[in-house]
Amino acid sequence: MRKIRAGLILGSVFLLSACSKAAQDETLRIGFPEPTTTEGILILNLWQGTWIVALGVAALVLGLLFAALILYRRRSDADVPKQTRYNIPLEILYTIVPLVIVLGLFFFTARDQSTLIKLTGEQKHTVNVVGFRWSWIFNYKEAGVYEIGTPALPPTLYLPVDEKVKFELTSPDVIHSFWVPAFLMKMDVVPGRLNAFELTPTKPGEFVGKCAELCGVDHSRMLFNVKVVSRAEFDQHIADLKAAGQVGALTSGRVETSGNPDCLGNPELAGCKAEN
């Protein structure tokens, strides 16, 4: 038995040491992607803490279960354990402990949620995100330009790295949900309601975004891309949008066809214009 146990321990050590650091980090994140925002670290910590509590509860329950199986097992036909109708200390234990756990999780969740949705007003720029059937509009409010996409041609949201941005979420039709998995943050886009949150991207790169609310027939095609870039590259993109005539702000994805049927769903084509 000792040889088997020693072999299992030794095998586990070799297995863990063979894993790359990236694989180990992914395991410790328990299914979450690596956070690429300042706020994402807070969300990851809450997620990991919740799992630690859950594993502790599982260990306690399994420990009590196996202890009861071993200590109070029936050893002979004549050996019947003493029967009791209730056990007050045990009942207090399994009433108080779950209550403490639930209240503790509620406290930390409410605390972190208040931090995540707090609007500080310290953002460097603001993006009005419009979710419409079936794509997205990004209105860069300070610059006075916009980006609009279609299901066939998803738009790209540009963000400068290490600068706080405020997202203002609106919708002209049904409920959508603005989600960038790498940011570890999402929020519903509700008609008639202005939802908003702030975050600070900390890692340059390209990321994917999608609608996380089942909103209709083309929900699965409501995709967009995110590019976190340097301030110089961000300024150049804003200048390119102005040069392309994408000036102002859009509130819906309706397109003025000007008699051209190809304009439907393709406002970026020459001669087509997205309506406000």
pLDDT band of 71, cuts 50, 70, 90: confident
Beta-bridged to residue 185, according to DSSP, are 180
Q: What is the mean pLDDT of the chain?
A: 84
125-269: CATH class? mainly beta
Of 7, 265, 2, nearest to 152 by C-alpha is 265
Contact yes or no for 270/149 (Cβ under 8 A): no
pLDDT band of 274, cuts 50, 70, 90: low
- Residue 209 has a pLDDT of 95
pLDDT of 256 above 70: no
Per cent of the chain over pLDDT 90 is 56
48 Cβ contact list (under 8 Å, min separation 6): 28, 29, 30
CA-to-CA distance for 170 and 172, rounded, in angstroms?
7
Domain map (residue ranges) of the chain: 20-70+85-117, 125-269
- Residue 160 has a pLDDT of 96
For 104-132, how does the pLDDT look when each residue is reduced to its tens digit (9 = 90+)? Answer: 999 999 999 999 899 998 999 999 999 99
How do strand 185-189 and strand 156-160 relate by DSSP bridges? unpaired
